[in-house]
């Protein structure tokens, strides 16, 4: 959990400290300016810089929230490592919330909204589906792992 917390926190930190790099990605995906020229979904594009920045701020906020919840969850699980199975299972709740926030962002936000609604899959230059899938797969695997019952000795 700590490794995932570090990973997600570094993503948020990178977006805050190097705002411009991924800002270009978000701007182009929302503007839909690199999808197939004749695509019939171009009406969905967001060209307002204010709305584009708001979307990017929301992305960074969810990344930071997911990272913080994962760190808190890792700490709570560490503190409960010698407790009984029920107490350790309760300690996982915040970590599950952090993983879920990340899954909502990368699966719901990037893959569903970015990939399908804004047609990111059509862009050869601004297609983040592979990265989003990698994030979603890791987070989902961690959620499945954490969801396993802790039936070990007390």
Let me know if residue 25 belongs to a domain: yes
**Chunked in runs of 10, what are the mean pLDDT values of the chain (154 residues)?**
98 96 95 96 97 98 98 98 93 97 98 97 96 97 92 59
* pLDDT at residue 129 in the model: 97
Flag whether 153 is in a domain.
no
Cα(45)–Cα(24) distance, integer angstroms? 15
Please report the sign of the dihedral spanned by the C-alpha atoms of residue 134, residue 140, residue 146, residue 149: negative
Whether 68 is covered by a domain: the verdict is: yes
The predicted structure's pLDDT at residue 44: 97
- Domain membership of residue 154 (yes or no) is no
pLDDT for the residue numbered 151? 72
Q: Report yes or no on 113 lying in a domain.
A: yes
In a domain, 79, yes or no: yes
Does residue 31 form part of some domain? yes
The pLDDT value given to residue 6? 98
Q: How many domains does the chain have?
A: 1
Distance CA 1, CA 69 (A): 10
Is position 138 within any domain? yes
Domain region containing 73: 2-146
Give CA separation, 83 vs 67, 93, 111, 135, in Å. Answer: 25, 15, 38, 31
């Amino acid at each position: 959990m700590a490794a995932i917390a570090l990973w997600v926190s570094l993503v948020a930190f990178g977006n805050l400290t190097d705002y411009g790099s991924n800002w270009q990605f978000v701007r182009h995906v929302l503007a839909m300016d690199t999808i197939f020229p004749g695509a019939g979904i171009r009406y969905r594009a967001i060209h307002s810089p204010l709305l584009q920045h708001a979307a990017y701020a929301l992305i960074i906020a969810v990344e930071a929230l997911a990272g913080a919840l994962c760190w808190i969850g890792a700490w709570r699980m560490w503190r409960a490592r010698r407790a009984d199975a029920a107490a350790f299972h309760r300690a996982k709740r915040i970590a599950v919330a952090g993983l879920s926030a990340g899954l909502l962002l990368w699966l719901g936000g990037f893959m569903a909204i970015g990939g399908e609604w804004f047609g990111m899959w059509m862009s050869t230059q601004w297609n983040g589906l592979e990265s989003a899938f990698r994030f979603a797969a890791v987070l989902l695997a961690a959620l499945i792992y954490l969801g396993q019952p802790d039936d070990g000795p007390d």
